[in-house]
Amino acid sequence: MAGPAFDDRDGFIWYDGVMVPWRDARCHVLTHALHYASCVFEGERVYGGKVFKLTEHSQRLIDSGRILGFDVPMTVEAIDEATRDVVARNGIVDGYVRPLAWRGSEMMGVSAQANTIHVAIACWLWPSYFSPEARLKGLRLTIADWKRPAPDTAPTASKAAGLYMICTLSKHKAEAAGFDDALMFDYRGRVAEATGANIFFVKDGKLHTPTPDCFLDGITRRTVIDLARRKGIEVIERTIMPEEMEGFEQAFLTGTAAEVTPLSEIGPYSFEVGEITKGLMTAYDDLVRGR
Protein backbone atom coordinates (compact mmCIF):
# COMPACT_ATOMS: atom_id res chain seq x y z
CA MET A 1 0.00 0.00 0.00
CA ALA A 2 1.09 3.61 -0.54
CA GLY A 3 2.72 5.38 2.38
CA PRO A 4 5.82 5.01 4.55
CA ALA A 5 7.52 1.66 4.99
CA PHE A 6 5.81 -0.51 7.57
CA ASP A 7 8.84 -0.52 9.88
CA ASP A 8 9.09 3.28 9.91
CA ARG A 9 5.79 4.78 10.99
CA ASP A 10 4.41 6.85 13.83
CA GLY A 11 2.00 5.23 16.24
CA PHE A 12 1.91 2.28 18.61
CA ILE A 13 1.81 -1.51 18.40
CA TRP A 14 0.55 -3.76 21.16
CA TYR A 15 3.41 -6.22 21.76
CA ASP A 16 3.31 -8.94 24.44
CA GLY A 17 1.11 -6.89 26.74
CA VAL A 18 2.82 -3.53 26.28
CA MET A 19 1.94 -0.64 23.97
CA VAL A 20 5.29 0.13 22.36
CA PRO A 21 6.27 2.85 19.87
CA TRP A 22 5.78 1.56 16.32
CA ARG A 23 9.48 1.58 15.38
CA ASP A 24 10.42 -0.38 18.51
CA ALA A 25 8.17 -3.40 17.77
CA ARG A 26 10.91 -5.75 16.59
CA CYS A 27 11.97 -9.40 16.92
CA HIS A 28 15.30 -11.20 16.51
CA VAL A 29 16.54 -12.45 13.14
CA LEU A 30 16.66 -16.00 14.58
CA THR A 31 12.99 -16.00 15.47
CA HIS A 32 11.57 -19.44 14.70
CA ALA A 33 8.61 -18.00 12.77
CA LEU A 34 10.93 -16.31 10.29
CA HIS A 35 12.69 -19.58 9.46
CA TYR A 36 9.93 -22.18 9.83
CA ALA A 37 6.70 -20.20 9.33
CA SER A 38 5.40 -20.94 12.84
CA CYS A 39 3.14 -17.89 12.76
CA VAL A 40 -0.61 -17.32 12.57
CA PHE A 41 -2.39 -14.06 11.96
CA GLU A 42 -5.69 -12.32 11.33
CA GLY A 43 -6.84 -9.49 9.08
CA GLU A 44 -9.59 -7.26 10.47
CA ARG A 45 -11.30 -4.08 9.36
CA VAL A 46 -12.19 -1.05 11.46
CA TYR A 47 -15.35 0.82 10.49
CA GLY A 48 -16.32 3.93 12.43
CA GLY A 49 -13.81 3.07 15.14
CA LYS A 50 -15.11 -0.47 15.70
CA VAL A 51 -13.59 -3.75 14.51
CA PHE A 52 -16.09 -5.79 12.53
CA LYS A 53 -16.68 -9.26 14.02
CA LEU A 54 -13.71 -8.79 16.36
CA THR A 55 -14.47 -11.75 18.63
CA GLU A 56 -14.74 -14.17 15.70
CA HIS A 57 -11.31 -13.07 14.51
CA SER A 58 -9.79 -13.36 17.99
CA GLN A 59 -11.17 -16.86 18.36
CA ARG A 60 -9.80 -17.87 14.96
CA LEU A 61 -6.33 -16.61 15.94
CA ILE A 62 -6.37 -18.93 18.95
CA ASP A 63 -7.74 -21.82 16.89
CA SER A 64 -5.08 -21.33 14.22
CA GLY A 65 -2.34 -21.42 16.83
CA ARG A 66 -3.63 -24.69 18.22
CA ILE A 67 -3.65 -26.21 14.73
CA LEU A 68 0.03 -25.23 14.46
CA GLY A 69 0.71 -26.88 17.82
CA PHE A 70 0.93 -23.91 20.16
CA ASP A 71 -1.35 -22.07 22.56
CA VAL A 72 -1.77 -18.32 22.11
CA PRO A 73 -1.12 -17.06 25.68
CA MET A 74 -4.28 -14.93 25.82
CA THR A 75 -8.01 -15.41 26.07
CA VAL A 76 -10.38 -14.27 23.38
CA GLU A 77 -11.58 -11.52 25.70
CA ALA A 78 -8.02 -10.30 26.31
CA ILE A 79 -7.27 -10.20 22.58
CA ASP A 80 -10.49 -8.26 22.00
CA GLU A 81 -9.55 -5.74 24.69
CA ALA A 82 -5.99 -5.31 23.43
CA THR A 83 -7.28 -4.82 19.88
CA ARG A 84 -9.70 -2.11 20.95
CA ASP A 85 -6.91 -0.43 22.92
CA VAL A 86 -4.49 -0.31 19.99
CA VAL A 87 -7.17 0.97 17.61
CA ALA A 88 -8.03 3.76 20.06
CA ARG A 89 -4.39 4.58 20.82
CA ASN A 90 -3.66 5.04 17.12
CA GLY A 91 -6.85 7.01 16.50
CA ILE A 92 -7.99 4.67 13.72
CA VAL A 93 -11.56 5.33 12.56
CA ASP A 94 -11.49 3.39 9.29
CA GLY A 95 -8.57 1.04 8.83
CA TYR A 96 -7.04 -2.40 9.10
CA VAL A 97 -5.91 -4.51 12.09
CA ARG A 98 -3.25 -7.22 12.01
CA PRO A 99 -3.01 -9.47 15.12
CA LEU A 100 -0.40 -12.21 14.97
CA ALA A 101 1.12 -14.88 17.18
CA TRP A 102 4.43 -16.63 16.60
CA ARG A 103 7.16 -18.83 18.06
CA GLY A 104 10.17 -16.93 19.36
CA SER A 105 13.91 -17.57 19.35
CA GLU A 106 14.78 -19.77 22.35
CA MET A 107 15.30 -22.80 20.09
CA MET A 108 16.48 -22.78 16.48
CA GLY A 109 15.57 -25.86 14.49
CA VAL A 110 12.52 -27.68 13.27
CA SER A 111 11.78 -28.80 16.83
CA ALA A 112 10.99 -25.79 19.03
CA GLN A 113 8.69 -26.87 21.85
CA ALA A 114 10.31 -24.52 24.39
CA ASN A 115 9.94 -21.35 22.37
CA THR A 116 7.96 -18.47 23.82
CA ILE A 117 4.76 -17.62 21.97
CA HIS A 118 4.60 -13.91 21.25
CA VAL A 119 1.55 -11.85 20.34
CA ALA A 120 1.39 -8.46 18.64
CA ILE A 121 -1.42 -6.29 17.28
CA ALA A 122 -0.91 -3.47 14.80
CA CYS A 123 -3.39 -1.24 12.97
CA TRP A 124 -3.20 1.36 10.26
CA LEU A 125 -5.25 3.34 7.78
CA TRP A 126 -6.26 1.22 4.79
CA PRO A 127 -9.07 2.58 2.60
CA SER A 128 -9.43 -0.23 0.03
CA TYR A 129 -7.57 -3.40 -1.00
CA PHE A 130 -8.40 -2.79 -4.66
CA SER A 131 -8.77 0.61 -6.32
CA PRO A 132 -12.29 2.11 -6.48
CA GLU A 133 -12.09 2.10 -10.27
CA ALA A 134 -11.21 -1.60 -10.41
CA ARG A 135 -13.99 -2.49 -7.98
CA LEU A 136 -16.55 -0.54 -9.99
CA LYS A 137 -15.83 -2.22 -13.33
CA GLY A 138 -14.81 -5.63 -11.94
CA LEU A 139 -11.39 -7.14 -11.39
CA ARG A 140 -9.45 -9.10 -13.99
CA LEU A 141 -8.05 -12.41 -12.72
CA THR A 142 -5.66 -14.82 -14.32
CA ILE A 143 -5.33 -18.51 -13.40
CA ALA A 144 -2.56 -19.26 -10.90
CA ASP A 145 0.07 -21.91 -11.57
CA TRP A 146 0.09 -22.89 -7.90
CA LYS A 147 -2.70 -24.93 -6.31
CA ARG A 148 -4.10 -24.93 -2.80
CA PRO A 149 -2.66 -27.95 -0.95
CA ALA A 150 -4.56 -30.95 0.33
CA PRO A 151 -5.54 -30.85 4.03
CA ASP A 152 -3.29 -33.84 4.74
CA THR A 153 -0.25 -31.98 3.37
CA ALA A 154 -0.64 -28.60 5.11
CA PRO A 155 -2.66 -27.13 8.02
CA THR A 156 -5.26 -25.66 5.66
CA ALA A 157 -7.83 -24.93 8.41
CA SER A 158 -5.49 -22.39 10.02
CA LYS A 159 -4.73 -18.84 8.94
CA ALA A 160 -1.03 -19.64 8.94
CA ALA A 161 1.67 -17.46 7.42
CA GLY A 162 3.30 -20.30 5.48
CA LEU A 163 0.16 -20.99 3.49
CA TYR A 164 0.43 -17.56 1.85
CA MET A 165 3.80 -18.09 0.16
CA ILE A 166 2.15 -19.46 -2.99
CA CYS A 167 -0.41 -16.66 -2.83
CA THR A 168 2.34 -14.05 -3.01
CA LEU A 169 3.95 -15.88 -5.92
CA SER A 170 0.62 -16.10 -7.74
CA LYS A 171 -0.37 -12.48 -7.15
CA HIS A 172 3.03 -11.15 -8.18
CA LYS A 173 2.87 -13.06 -11.45
CA ALA A 174 -0.70 -11.90 -12.08
CA GLU A 175 0.13 -8.24 -11.47
CA ALA A 176 3.25 -8.46 -13.64
CA ALA A 177 0.98 -9.63 -16.48
CA GLY A 178 -1.45 -6.74 -15.96
CA PHE A 179 -4.11 -8.57 -13.91
CA ASP A 180 -5.49 -7.61 -10.51
CA ASP A 181 -5.23 -11.04 -8.90
CA ALA A 182 -5.22 -14.77 -9.62
CA LEU A 183 -7.73 -17.56 -9.16
CA MET A 184 -6.27 -20.63 -7.50
CA PHE A 185 -7.48 -24.17 -8.10
CA ASP A 186 -7.14 -26.79 -5.38
CA TYR A 187 -4.96 -29.91 -5.44
CA ARG A 188 -7.73 -31.76 -7.34
CA GLY A 189 -7.99 -29.11 -10.04
CA ARG A 190 -11.23 -27.63 -8.70
CA VAL A 191 -12.01 -23.92 -8.27
CA ALA A 192 -10.82 -22.85 -4.80
CA GLU A 193 -10.26 -19.14 -4.11
CA ALA A 194 -8.25 -16.08 -5.08
CA THR A 195 -4.90 -15.34 -3.43
CA GLY A 196 -6.49 -13.70 -0.39
CA ALA A 197 -10.25 -13.94 -0.80
CA ASN A 198 -13.06 -16.44 -1.29
CA ILE A 199 -15.03 -16.55 -4.54
CA PHE A 200 -18.72 -16.66 -5.46
CA PHE A 201 -20.54 -17.07 -8.77
CA VAL A 202 -24.08 -16.16 -9.85
CA LYS A 203 -26.26 -18.20 -12.20
CA ASP A 204 -30.02 -18.01 -12.66
CA GLY A 205 -30.42 -15.92 -9.52
CA LYS A 206 -28.53 -18.37 -7.29
CA LEU A 207 -25.13 -18.11 -5.63
CA HIS A 208 -22.57 -20.87 -6.10
CA THR A 209 -19.39 -21.06 -4.04
CA PRO A 210 -16.74 -23.76 -3.58
CA THR A 211 -16.91 -25.94 -0.49
CA PRO A 212 -14.07 -24.78 1.80
CA ASP A 213 -12.53 -28.17 2.46
CA CYS A 214 -8.91 -27.20 1.80
CA PHE A 215 -8.96 -23.43 2.27
CA LEU A 216 -10.35 -21.01 4.84
CA ASP A 217 -14.09 -20.67 5.33
CA GLY A 218 -13.69 -16.91 5.57
CA ILE A 219 -15.53 -14.78 8.11
CA THR A 220 -16.58 -12.41 5.32
CA ARG A 221 -17.61 -15.42 3.23
CA ARG A 222 -19.96 -16.61 5.96
CA THR A 223 -21.27 -13.08 6.45
CA VAL A 224 -22.11 -12.73 2.75
CA ILE A 225 -23.82 -16.13 2.70
CA ASP A 226 -26.00 -14.97 5.58
CA LEU A 227 -26.78 -11.66 3.83
CA ALA A 228 -27.71 -13.46 0.63
CA ARG A 229 -30.06 -15.85 2.41
CA ARG A 230 -31.72 -12.94 4.20
CA LYS A 231 -32.38 -11.46 0.77
CA GLY A 232 -33.97 -14.73 -0.34
CA ILE A 233 -31.06 -15.76 -2.57
CA GLU A 234 -30.30 -19.48 -2.61
CA VAL A 235 -26.67 -20.25 -1.76
CA ILE A 236 -25.17 -23.52 -3.01
CA GLU A 237 -21.84 -24.68 -1.56
CA ARG A 238 -20.42 -27.34 -3.83
CA THR A 239 -17.59 -28.59 -6.00
CA ILE A 240 -17.04 -26.19 -8.91
CA MET A 241 -14.98 -27.32 -11.89
CA PRO A 242 -13.05 -24.75 -13.98
CA GLU A 243 -15.08 -25.33 -17.14
CA GLU A 244 -18.27 -24.39 -15.30
CA MET A 245 -17.14 -20.77 -15.17
CA GLU A 246 -18.22 -20.38 -18.78
CA GLY A 247 -21.86 -20.67 -17.69
CA PHE A 248 -21.79 -18.25 -14.76
CA GLU A 249 -23.19 -14.74 -15.23
CA GLN A 250 -21.54 -12.88 -12.35
CA ALA A 251 -18.61 -13.48 -10.04
CA PHE A 252 -17.21 -11.71 -7.00
CA LEU A 253 -14.64 -12.04 -4.22
CA THR A 254 -15.20 -11.75 -0.48
CA GLY A 255 -12.69 -11.08 2.26
CA THR A 256 -11.90 -8.75 5.12
CA ALA A 257 -9.65 -6.69 2.87
CA ALA A 258 -11.52 -7.27 -0.39
CA GLU A 259 -14.98 -6.86 1.22
CA VAL A 260 -17.33 -7.69 -1.70
CA THR A 261 -15.51 -7.05 -4.98
CA PRO A 262 -16.97 -7.91 -8.41
CA LEU A 263 -15.03 -9.68 -11.15
CA SER A 264 -15.19 -9.01 -14.87
CA GLU A 265 -12.76 -11.66 -16.05
CA ILE A 266 -11.12 -14.91 -14.96
CA GLY A 267 -8.76 -16.25 -17.59
CA PRO A 268 -10.89 -16.81 -20.72
CA TYR A 269 -14.21 -16.30 -18.90
CA SER A 270 -16.11 -12.99 -18.69
CA PHE A 271 -18.72 -11.80 -16.20
CA GLU A 272 -21.03 -8.84 -15.76
CA VAL A 273 -21.19 -6.69 -12.65
CA GLY A 274 -24.84 -7.53 -12.11
CA GLU A 275 -27.59 -6.62 -9.69
CA ILE A 276 -27.06 -9.50 -7.27
CA THR A 277 -23.41 -8.59 -6.89
CA LYS A 278 -24.21 -4.88 -6.52
CA GLY A 279 -26.93 -5.65 -3.99
CA LEU A 280 -24.59 -7.73 -1.85
CA MET A 281 -21.92 -5.03 -2.04
CA THR A 282 -24.43 -2.52 -0.69
CA ALA A 283 -25.79 -4.89 1.95
CA TYR A 284 -22.30 -5.68 3.22
CA ASP A 285 -21.33 -2.01 3.31
CA ASP A 286 -24.51 -1.18 5.24
CA LEU A 287 -23.85 -4.00 7.71
CA VAL A 288 -20.26 -3.14 8.55
CA ARG A 289 -21.08 0.54 8.90
CA GLY A 290 -24.17 -0.07 11.02
CA ARG A 291 -26.64 1.45 8.60
What is the SS3 assignment for 262?
strand
Handedness of CA 236, 209, 97, 291 (dihedral sign): negative
What string of DSSP letters covers 206-261?
A: EEEEE--SSS---HHHHHHHHHHHHTT--EEEE---GGGGGG-SEEEEEETTTEEE
Set 159, 173, 206, 278: catalytic member: 159
Query: In sequence order, what are the beta bridge partners of 199?
Result: 253
Q: What are phi and psi of 240, to 5 degrees?
A: -125, 120
The answer to whether 50 is a known catalytic residue is no
Beta-strand relationship, 44-47 and 50-51: antiparallel
CB 183 within 8 Å of CB 267: yes
Tally of CB atoms within 10 A around 130: 17
Give the residue numbers marked as catalytic.
159
